[in-house]
Amino acid sequence: MLEAAGLAVQLVNAAQAKNLPGRPKTDKLDAQWLARLTEMGLLRPSFVPPKAIRDLRDYTRARTRLTQERTRCFQRLEKLLEGALIKLSSVASKLTTESAKDMIKAMIAGQRDPRVLAALARTRMKAKHDDLVEALAGMFDDHHGELARLLLDQIAFCDDRITQLTIRITESVAAMPRAWGVDADGATGPDAGTGPDAAVLPAVARLAEIPGISENLARSIIAEIGLDMSRFPTAAHLVSWAGLCPSARQSGPRTRAGKKGQGDTWLRGCLGQAATGAARTATFLGERYHRIARRRGKAKAQVAVARSILVIIWHLLADPAARYTDLGASHYASRIDKDRKLRNHIRQIEALGFTVALTKAA
């Protein structure tokens, strides 16, 4: 409303605008105090994306909530089957597979013979026929079928709405000129930059080159941080805003480990998902995850890789002509001191009770 009236609106941290102790506190005096601080330049405005990004953010966050609700429905369905002594999830990798859905729908329709249900398995699940027969021999009755039907209907509803939102999100990003690519001849537009000789890739395609990031996840990240990186002078500023770096805790000679800030929880969720996906790849980020996880645990490794991904994203959005280049899974191994590697291996072998004599190969 205020922006529509032509006013420049700032969102500031409440800690910076805290009133001084000993002063009377009323709404009128608070407004005067904020006006004085703004006039003297003592308030630093927080990041507020433009309206197009804010609208996109509403769509992506709504899709995330629907995805979470869909997951909860599958969890309720699994619990319902467990209560009926149907151990389908112990054989099938997950209930979202088509084979599992076919078996559940057949039970809802009244089929109770475990051999007939197991025969509905597809592809690789056919090899687990005997295990399926044992898992499907339970006490599933009509009331379980009614509840399962309600859950499947709710899952189907969420699937339809997620598809609808995904189409709307794709259209919204395609309508942003900053997200467009540039062809080799300099032409730009929503469909530009998709060829092999493109001068600039679209923003979504640039981010999707990073291990662990899909195109849908790239759009969700753009919805949180926008496309204009001039708001963040360096990648460290963006990392700090996202809450992926610890705060400084120092008093005299003593330095304590600080806690990371709250930041943008939606952005951290996207980056955590990307870090988990990158950990499964034979890339630089995957190797970085495993190196840190061995020493400090998986949780800290996930945050560290998420921070690395966010730094890469800042560089790709700050320079549209930049492209992601993977350093390779052997990046660390090729740069570790050879003598140190030898000492570590010798120490490990000697700990097993052996003596090692090294001879350099010709």
Q: Does residue 144 sit in the same domain as residue 110?
A: yes
Per-residue pLDDT, 64: 96
Whether residues 41 and 56 share a domain: the answer is no
**Which of 153, 173, 193 is the last residue before a domain boundary?**
173
Which range of residues forms the domain containing residue 3? 1-46
Query: Do 30 and 59 belong to one domain?
Result: no
What pLDDT does residue 27 have?
84
pLDDT at position 15 over 90: no
| Res. 53 pLDDT band, cuts 50 70 90 | very high
Can you give the pLDDT at residue 279?
A: 95
110 within domain boundaries: yes
Label residue 315 by pLDDT band (50, 70, 90).
very high
Closest CA to 95 of 67, 74, 123: 74
Confidence check: pLDDT of 276 > 70? yes
* Between residues 186 and 164, the one the model is more confident about: 164
- Measured between alpha carbons, how far is 151 from 76 in angstroms, rounded to an integer? 8
Which comes out higher in pLDDT, residue 206 or 33? 206
At 316-327, the pLDDT tens digits run 999 999 999 999
Same domain? For 107 and 30 the reply is: no
3-class secondary structure, 127 = helix
Evaluate whether residue 126 is within a structural domain: yes
Model confidence pLDDT, tens digit, residues 317-355: 999 999 999 999 888 877 777 778 888 889 999 999 998
* The pLDDT of residue 222 is above 60: yes
- The pLDDT assigned to 47 comes to 82
Query: Does some domain include residue 102?
Result: yes
**What is the enclosing helix (H) or strand (E) of 97?**
none
Phi, psi of 67 (to 5 degrees): -65, -40
Q: In DSSP terms, which residues pair with 188 in a beta bridge?
A: 182
Same domain, 79 and 11: no
Residue 25 included in any domain = yes
Could you tell me if 256 and 249 are in contact, meaning their C-beta atoms sit under 8 angstroms apart? yes
Strand-pairing partners, residue 250, are: 255
- State both tokens at 67: 């995805």
116 and 86 in a single domain? The answer is: yes
Q: 232 and 161 share a domain? A: no
First-to-last alpha carbon distance for the chain, in angstroms, is 78
pLDDT at residue 21, rounded to an integer: 60
Burial of 221 (0-12, 13-18, 19+ CB in 10 A): buried
Give 64's contacts (C-beta < 8 A, 6+ positions apart).
220, 266, 269
How far apart are the C-alpha atoms of 21 and 327, rounded to whole Å?
A: 54
Tokens found for residue 75 = 């969890």
Q: What is the mean pLDDT of the chain?
A: 89
The number of CA neighbours under 13 Å toward the Cβ of 82 is 10
DSSP string, 212-254: T--HHHHHHHHHHH-S-GGGSSSHHHHHHHHT-SBPPEEETTE
Q: Is residue 22 predicted with pLDDT exceeding 70?
A: no
The residue type of 130 is D
What mean pLDDT comes out for the span 238-248? 85
Name the band, by pLDDT with cuts 50, 70 and 90, for residue 258.
low
Does the pLDDT at position 287 exceed 90? yes
pTM as predicted = 0.83
Tokens of 344: 């570590």
* Short-list 273, 268, 265, 166, CA closest to 212: 273
The verdict on 218 and 312 lying in the same domain is yes
337 lies in some domain: no
Return the pLDDT at 342.
85
The conformation of residue 260, written as its DSSP 8-state character, comes to B
Nearest-angstrom CA–CA distance, 18 and 142: 61
Identify whether 220 is part of a domain. yes
In a domain, 345, yes or no: no
Banded model confidence at residue 41, pLDDT cuts 50, 70, 90: confident
Confidence at 259, pLDDT banded by 50, 70, 90: low
90-144, pLDDT tens digit by residue?
898 889 889 999 999 999 999 999 999 999 999 888 999 999 999 999 899 999 9
> Where does the pLDDT of residue 19 fall: very low under 50, low under 70, confident under 90, or very high at 90 and above?
low
Say yes or no: 11 and 95 in one domain. Answer: no
Domain boundary residue, one of 120, 151, 173: 173
CB 203 within 8 A of CB 222: yes
Helices (H) and strands (E) in the chain, counts: 13, 4
| Same domain membership, residue 38 and residue 132 | no
Domain boundary residue, one of 30, 46, 62: 46
**Closest alpha carbon to 120 in 143, 144, 104, 137:** 104
